[in-house]
């Protein structure tokens, strides 16, 4: 009586074994793929790894508020261990500040108009450089404008450097033309804040053309100074804007 039962059990095991072996082989293949990817990522040079972590962090900070982003999430998406992430950035705050600093450096590297040009032409060229920075790095553009750590000394220092390089140049030029410094400082700093907010909104929802965005920001500068269209009325500036718009995508 025992023999038939034993035979049936063996037959069942014979059917189950191939299925189990197939699942095991699939799991091993998946592990091999993951291992290969990890090894490929582990070959990055230190600077390349740092840039990868900054890119990954910028993408996550753009997706979620600062408080909701976890270092574990960043490490997992980058395909590295948490220890590796800590090696480059000891804390989430350090990573965020580094993202902010890199974005600022990219912006300042683009903004270097010829000081011999008229103010309006410098302004137009600098604005185009600013918009192009947003186009090239949309995740960073959104990340740095979420307002996280706005009172952090490191973030404040980065913002102050931008204002000093970009804003102060405009302020000094306008004061040299006879405008009051106190009023000019408020107008320029307010305009720069407007440009940043407008660019962030545009990069997230480009419902107007880039040419229209540029035109809006240039007109806003004139309005901030209380002289609508005065700086943008010269033939040289109109020709420059026409050339810029012709090159825009």
Strands (E), 49-178: none
User: Alpha helix (H) ranges present in 64-113?
Assistant: 71-78, 82-88, 92-110
Distance between CA atoms of 74 and 89, rounded to whole angstroms?
11
The whole-number average pLDDT for the span 113-137 is: 80
Distance between CA atoms of 50 and 36, rounded to whole angstroms?
20
Amino acid 193: pLDDT: 86
Distance between CA atoms of 137 and 55, rounded to whole angstroms?
9
Amino acid 60: pLDDT: 93
Banded pLDDT at 28 (limits 50, 70, 90): low
Between vectors from CA 184 to CA 183 and to CA 190, what angle results, nearest 5°?
95
Task: Give the chain's radius of gyration (CA, Å).
Answer: 28
Banded pLDDT at 118 (limits 50, 70, 90): confident
Q: Which residues neighbour 228 within 8 Å (Cβ) at sequence distance 6 or greater? A: 219, 222
Distance between CA atoms of 149 and 109, rounded to whole angstroms?
24
Amino acid 200: pLDDT: 86
Stated length of the chain: 249
pLDDT, tens digit, 9 for 90 and up, residues 77-117: 999 999 999 999 999 999 999 999 998 888 888 776 666 77
Q: The dihedral of CA 176, 177, 180, 186: what is its sign?
A: negative
Q: What is the pTM of this model?
A: 0.66
The whole-angstrom distance between residue 172's C-alpha and the CA centroid of its chain comes to: 30
CB 199 within 8 A of CB 130: yes
pLDDT at 231 over 90: no
The whole-number average pLDDT for the span 185-203 is: 90
Q: 20 or 238: whose pLDDT is higher?
A: 238
CB atoms within 10 A of CB 148: 18
8-12, 44-48, 89-93, 198-202: least confident range: 8-12
Q: Which residues neighbour 52 within 8 Å (Cβ) at sequence distance 6 or greater? A: 41, 44, 78
Distance between CA atoms of 54 and 88, rounded to whole angstroms?
10
CA dihedral 90, 94, 98, 104 (to 10 degrees): -170
């Amino acid at each position: 009586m025992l023999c038939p039962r034993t035979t049936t059990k063996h037959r069942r095991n014979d059917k189950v074994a191939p299925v189990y072996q197939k699942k095991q082989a699939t799991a091993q293949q998946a592990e091999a793929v993951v291992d290969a990817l990890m090894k490929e990522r582990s070959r990055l040079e230190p600077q390349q790894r740092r840039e990868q972590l900054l890119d990954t962090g910028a993408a996550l900070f753009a997706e979620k508020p600062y408080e909701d982003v976890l270092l574990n999430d960043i490490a997992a998406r980058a395909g590295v261990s948490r220890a590796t992430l800590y090696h480059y950035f000891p804390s989430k705050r350090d990573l965020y500040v580094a993202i902010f600093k890199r974005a600022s450096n990219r912006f300042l590297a683009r903004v270097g108009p010829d000081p011999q040009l008229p103010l309006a032409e410098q302004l137009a060229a600098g604005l185009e450089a600013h918009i192009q920075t947003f186009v090239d790095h949309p995740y960073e553009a959104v990340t740095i404008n979420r307002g996280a750590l706005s009172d952090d000394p490191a973030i404040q220092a980065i913002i102050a450097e931008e204002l000093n390089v970009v804003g102060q140049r405009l302020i000094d030029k306008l004061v040299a033309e006879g405008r009051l410094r106190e009023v000019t400082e408020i107008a320029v700093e307010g305009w720069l804040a407007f440009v940043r907010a407008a660019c962030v909104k545009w990069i997230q929802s480009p419902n107007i053309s880039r040419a229209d965005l540029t035109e809006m920001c240039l007109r806003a500068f004139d309005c901030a100074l209380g002289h609508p269209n005065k700086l943008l009325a010269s033939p040289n500036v109109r020709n420059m804007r026409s050339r810029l718009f012709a090159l825009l995508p």
